[in-house]
Amino acid sequence: MKKIFNIFAISATLMLSSCATVFTGTKQTVNIKTDPPAADIEVDGIKVGVTPMDVTLKKGFTGQTVSLKLNGYEAKTFQPTTTFNAVSVVNFLFVPGFIIDAATGAMMKYDPKVYEFKLEQKR
């Protein structure tokens, strides 16, 4: 009985997993820098720190919205660029894996991994 349970557990794990989700995860860290430094970093409206800083973002078909704010400077808002995560190709024979990678956002990745901005002074 225990052997059947182990086989079932291993089979379920393999069938419900997908390559990109398992190997690269559903989040990715990017580095954000500003000139001048010490700008507040907001991700989807929530302050997460100040520049320069490594920021962990959820993966998806569109990047999360990042805002950079510093007193005396114009605010900068952007969505980091996402590209296809080649690890997802391993699922070419396993359609549920593609579906899981797409649903979790792991099918995409952030590229580049470093974002540098020169903030403009307010006039």
Write the pLDDT tens digit of every residue in 63-75.
899 999 999 999 9
Rounded-to-integer distance, Cα 98 and Cα 85, Å: 11
- Phi, psi (rounded to 5 degrees) for 107: -70, -15
Contact 81, 60 (CB under 8 A): no
Q: Quote the pTM value.
A: 0.77
Pairing of the two strands 108-110 and 82-84: antiparallel
Side-by-side strand order, sheet with 27-35: 53-58, 27-35, 114-118
Q: What is the mean pLDDT of residues 26-51?
A: 97
Q: Is residue 123 assigned to a domain?
A: no
Residue with tokens 């990017």: 30
Q: Would 14 be classed as within a structural domain?
A: yes
Domain that holds residue 65: 2-118
Cα 59 from Cα 104, distance rounded (Å): 8
1 pLDDT above the threshold of 70 = no
Say yes or no to pLDDT of 120 above 90: yes
- Residue 7 falls within a domain, yes or no? yes
Kindly state whether residue 17 falls inside one of the protein's structural domains: yes
Domain presence at residue 29: yes
The neighbour count for residue 26, using CB atoms within 10 Å, is 14
The answer to the question of residue 25 being in a domain is yes
Q: How many domains does the chain have?
A: 1
